[in-house]
Structure 1
Amino acid sequence: MDMTPPPQASHTAATDSAARKAFYDAIATHSLTPLWEVLHALVPQSPNTPCLPALWKYADVHPYLMQSGQLITAEEAVRRVLILENPALRGQSCITQSLYAGLQVIMPGEIAPSHRHTQSALRFVVEGHGAYTAVDGERTQMKPGDFIITPSWTWHDHGHHGQVESDAPVVWLDGLDIPMLKFFDAGFAENGSEKSQAVTKPQDISRHRYGANMLPMRYDAPFGQTSPIFSYPYERTRETLHELETHADIDAWDGVKLRYVNPATGGSPMPTMATFMQRLPAGFAGKPWRQTDGAVFSVVEGSGSVRIERDGKAWTFDFGPRDHFVIPSWHTAQLRSQPGCVLFSFSDRPVHQALGIHREERLS
């Protein structure tokens, strides 16, 4: 059967194509573009992130962190950080399209000078002792596994009390909403006039005031929508995970997973980022799940693996203590651990929930 289009049809198609091109060229001079040419890319049938799953082995990263400590001072760098860049977003200083992550190192005797910025920040301590973070006149010591908040537009600095000759550097994971605020054109900063801010409050007074399942009679939300507690010590978190693993049901997808909360609201500690800690019991083989919020993980203790799938592609990462990995939006993931492990993670879930766009599927 002859499928050749009649001469008139070919002529019409060619004419239409030429007419459309001329039309597109004409409207382009007025900064216009046709929606019908990009509609499917703008509104895809499922979430379609360009981000890729990735793993950063601490054994590979650690030598470079130490080398950076020899090449540039904390004062000169302002913040001595190696950014964890998503392999698909190189040069954009982000681990997902909305989140920034990096590993910061401070050497004994150093001070990372005081500044403030509109971006919210979290610190999750990876390694070492002897460092502190100060926020608005209050200091807290940094110990491995501690989760510490720097609320938006608060003065903060970091320091290491140790002696250069005998003490080790301290490393922590920085998580910030830098790309999110960049999207809104709302990110800016201010440097302090002194390297270290004056300490005006007793150490950890915020935890005593707000962290005992009680609030002052006239609670004034010192940091707005951000938690009034800026340090959540791992010692207490670990004890809770252990008790729940021993006495509570184990979730088939997450093991024992808890979310950090703002004690005044029950919501996330920060308005733009949610934080979690979970324990995978020994022999855990999790069921698959996926969610619209991309998540960044830091391995606190133990070892395990994560299998991540999307569109017929699969990645399997074996992880151990202090390793970091990212599970991008709407990638199916399964966690496993033969010896058991503890994982810290953070994501942009509060923003998804506030906008009513968060989706999660727990698959069988």
Structure 2
Amino acid sequence: MDTTVPAARAALYEDIRRLNLIPLWESLHSLVPAHPAPAYEAALWRYDEIAPYLRRAGEVISAEEAVRRVLVLENPALPGSASITNSLYAGLQLILPGEVAPAHRHTQSALRFIVHGKGAYTAVDGERTTMYPGDFILTPSWTWHDHGNPGIDGAAEPVVWLDGLDIPLTRFFNGGFAENGQAASQRVARPEGRSLAAYGHNMAPVRQLHTGTSSPIFNYPYERSRAALETLRRQEEIDPWVGVKLRYINPLTGGAPMPTIGACMQLLPAGFKGRAHRSTDGTVYSVVEGHGRVDIGGRSFAFGPRDTFVVPSWLTLAFDAPEDVVLFSFSDRPVLEAIGLLREEFLPE
């Protein structure tokens, strides 16, 4: 065997490294793979297992001290990253009766999906909205926002929601900025429900039109989402891959509610056995109603209400729903669409 070639290559590699150079041919196949190979993995977090630790967190640190009392859902394959996918962050946030999570703003776009309790509020740029389970709420990039839990009609209970942010994506672009408010709660400048009234009924104001890049609606109530799914379940043929699935939109553009995060709600009717499909967007799911199973790339997970699971890019996904199941999901789909990298495949039976 001629050993001069390997030795010469090794010498070349050592010499060029001093100039901060590396040979492409040694890593070409991993840099330009035949198909997506995400560095993170499918995983599921059971709410019933997490809830006791959220309660303990509520005992040892206040919302004011923590700024945001959150247990981060960190992907098992990405330790130390505070990320659930390469581009998304997720965590479960607790706010107790009487607490206020102080006002701040940041360039990271955020969503809240309410998983337990009612009567807390989120305030976004001077407008408050009371939160109920299943509500999908936005805090767009660089908007002032705070949270409080005064309860309803004098009764208050702990409230938990799923946070979803584009923190890893913002970190990748080094575009992170943040600012704390001067007061714990921002001044309420508009009555509750104003944004939904102005933009949520297939109409928009003639003057003073919203000019931001995110949706002017910042609370999409679950009651309306669930009713839409139920109507379509009765009136239309069930899609064999996704059941009845609707995406949330910015009513002014028809696009995603925020530039970097898309969101959907879907209904899987009792007895649904879905065909496998896959997509290049990494997706986080929160179970709203029902029990079932999900197969992700050949791994099977049983889920129930309030559980969270993540589906990595290009892994096959198939649902089995012995009873009615409702799922909320969010992903980095708008980014992939914008740069031409979104690809989907719906596999035959």
Alignment TM-score, normalising by the size of structure 2: 0.97
Q: Which runs of 5+ in 1 are unaligned?
A: 1-9
Runs of 4+ in 1 over 6 A off after TM superposition: none
Q: Distance in 2 between matches of 1:152 and 1:73?
A: 25
How many Å apart are 1:308 and its aligned residue? 1.3
In terms of mean alpha carbon deviation, does 137-146 or 210-219 score higher? Answer: 210-219
Instruction: State the one-letter code of the partner of 2:318.
Output: Q
Instruction: State the one-letter code of the partner of 1:152.
Output: S
Q: 1:219 and 1:35, CA in 2 relative to 1: closer, same or farther beyond 3 A?
A: farther
How many Å apart are 1:219 and its aligned residue? 5.4
Instruction: State the one-letter code of the partner of 1:323.
Output: D
1:350 pairs, out of 329, 334, 339, with: 334
Paired position in structure 2 for 1:117: 106
After superposition, residues 1-364 of structure 1 pair within 5 angstroms as 10=1, 13-162=2-151, 167-218=156-207, 220-222=209-211, 224-309=212-297, 314-364=298-348
Identity fraction in percent: 60
Q: Distance in 2 between matches of 1:127 and 1:271?
A: 27
Instruction: State the one-letter code of the partner of 1:292.
Output: T
How many Å apart are 1:166 and its aligned residue? 6.2
Q: Distance in 2 between matches of 1:135 and 1:168?
A: 22
How many Å apart are 1:24 and its aligned residue? 1.0
How many Å apart are 1:162 and its aligned residue? 3.4
How many Å apart are 1:168 and its aligned residue? 2.1
Paired position in structure 2 for 1:7: none
**Contact in 1 for aligned 2:150/2:156 (Cα 8 Å):** no
How many Å apart are 1:14 and its aligned residue? 1.3
The structure whose Rg is larger is 1
Q: Distance in 1 between matches of 2:171 and 2:77?
A: 19
Q: Distance in 2 between matches of 1:129 and 1:147?
A: 13
Q: 1:26 and 1:53, CA in 2 relative to 1: closer, same or farther beyond 3 A?
A: same
Q: Which runs of 5+ in 2 are unaligned?
A: none
Instruction: State the one-letter code of the partner of 2:269.
Output: P
Q: Distance in 2 between matches of 1:19 and 1:322?
A: 59
Paired residue secondary structure (1:87) = coil
How many Å apart are 1:249 and its aligned residue? 1.2
Q: Distance in 2 between matches of 1:36 and 1:193?
A: 55
Instruction: State the one-letter code of the partner of 2:299.
Output: W
CA-to-partner distance for each residue in 1:272-302, whole Å, 9 max, x for gaps? 0110000000100000001100110000011
Q: Distance in 1 between matches of 2:147 and 2:81?
A: 25
**Contact in 1 for aligned 2:149/2:156 (Cα 8 Å):** no
Paired position in structure 2 for 1:3: none
Q: Distance in 1 between matches of 2:232 and 2:150?
A: 36
Q: Distance in 2 between matches of 1:48 and 1:361?
A: 16
Q: Distance in 2 between matches of 1:209 and 1:116?
A: 24
Q: Distance in 1 between matches of 2:190 and 2:105?
A: 18
Instruction: State the one-letter code of the partner of 2:87.
Output: S
**Contact in 1 for aligned 2:105/2:179 (Cα 8 Å):** yes
Instruction: State the one-letter code of the partner of 1:347.
Output: S
Give the number of equivalent residue pairs.
Answer: 347
Instruction: State the one-letter code of the partner of 2:39.
Output: P
CA-to-partner distance for each residue in 1:46-91, whole Å, 9 max, x for gaps? 1000211101111101101111000100011010000011110011
Instruction: State the one-letter code of the partner of 2:130.
Output: Q
Paired residue secondary structure (2:184) = coil
How many Å apart are 1:225 and its aligned residue? 1.4
How many Å apart are 1:220 and its aligned residue? 3.2
Instruction: State the one-letter code of the partner of 1:357.
Output: L
RMSD of aligned alpha carbons: 1.2
How many Å apart are 1:18 and its aligned residue? 1.4
